[in-house]
Amino acid sequence: MLSKGLKLLQMYPEGEMVVTADTPVRSPEDFRGKNIRTMTNPLLSETYRAFGATPTPLPWGEVYGGLQTNIIQGQENPIFWIQSGGLYEVSPNLIFTGHGQFTTALMANQDFYNNLSPEDQQLVQEATQHAFEYITEYVPGLSEEMLEKILESKPEVTVTRLTDEERQAFMDRAPRVEERFIEMTGERGQALLEQFKKDLEPYR
C-alpha cells in the first residue's frame, strides 16, 4: 500500500460471508455444476473452484439479473447485502459455510496523513479504533436482524448451517488454494501465509 501512496488505518469486519444458491448446499458435490458469482479476484475464484463450483466473475450490478435468469446459480455476500439487495428473492437458499469474513479497509492518503500534526494523527488513530470497536459489536446484531427480515419477507427461504463435519470436507480442499496463493505471490506470500496461520492458532 505504501507503494501506492496509501496508509492502512484499520480493517473493519462486515460480517460472515454467506452463500446463496438455487438449491441447498452441504458438500462440495452439491456445488458441482453451479456457476457461483465471484468478484474479480483470482484467489476467490480458486477457492470456489476448490469447493467444486465454477467461479463466474460478474459485476455487482448484474448479479440479481444473473440469478434471476439462471446465468449464475449462486453468489456470496454478508447477510445484510443479501437482504438489502433482495438477492434472497431470486436465490432463496442461504448457506452459512463459515469459510470467511468480509472486511473493509479504511485508508488515508500517505502524504496527507504524514503532514498532519502528531496530535491530529493520534486523533485519527483513536477515531479509527473507536469505529472498529463499535462495528465489531454492531455487525453481529445487524446480521441476525437482516436474517429475520429475510425470513419474514419470504418464509420459504431455507437456511443451512454446515456442521463441523460438513465444513471439514471443504477445509480438506484448502491446500490447493494455498498452493495457488503461493504461485501468485512467491516467497513473500508464503511467509505471510505462515504468519496468518500462526496468528490464528490461538483462536482454533
- 3-class DSSP state for residue 116? coil
Q: What percent of the chain has pLDDT over 90?
A: 71
Q: Given a cut of 80, is residue 200 above it in pLDDT?
A: no
| Residue carrying C-alpha cell 448484474 | 62
- The CA-based dihedral angle spanning residues 191, 196, 197, 203, taken in that order and rounded to the nearest 10 degrees: 160
- The per-residue pLDDT for range 82-100, each reduced to its tens digit, is 999 999 999 999 999 998 8
Q: What is the mean pLDDT of the chain?
A: 93
Domain boundaries, the chain: 2-163, 173-204
pLDDT recorded at residue 17: 94
* E-state strands within 49-147: 54-57, 74-78, 93-96, 101-109
CATH of domain 2-163: 3.40.190.170
d(CA 202, CA 168): 19
3: confidence class by pLDDT, cuts 50, 70, 90: low
Q: Given a cut of 90, is residue 78 above it in pLDDT?
A: yes
Give every CB contact of residue 102 below 8 A, 6+ residues apart in sequence: 13, 14, 15, 16, 17, 77, 78
pLDDT recorded at residue 192: 87
Q: Given a cut of 70, is residue 1 above it in pLDDT?
A: no
Q: What percent of the chain has pLDDT over 70?
A: 98
| Residue carrying C-alpha cell 491446500 | 175
| Residue carrying C-alpha cell 516467497 | 187
Instruction: Look up residue 85 and give its DSSP letter.
Output: T
Which one is predicted more confidently, 56 or 5?
Answer: 56
Evaluate whether 9 touches 101 at the Cβ level (below 8 Å).
no
Least confident of 24-33, 54-63, 172-181: 172-181
- Mean pLDDT for the stretch of residues 115-129: 96
140: confidence class by pLDDT, cuts 50, 70, 90: confident
pLDDT recorded at residue 189: 87
Evaluate whether 33 touches 23 at the Cβ level (below 8 Å).
no
Q: Supply the DSSP string of 29-40, one letter for each residue.
A: HHHTT-EEEE-S
Which amino acid, residue 21? A
pTM: 0.85
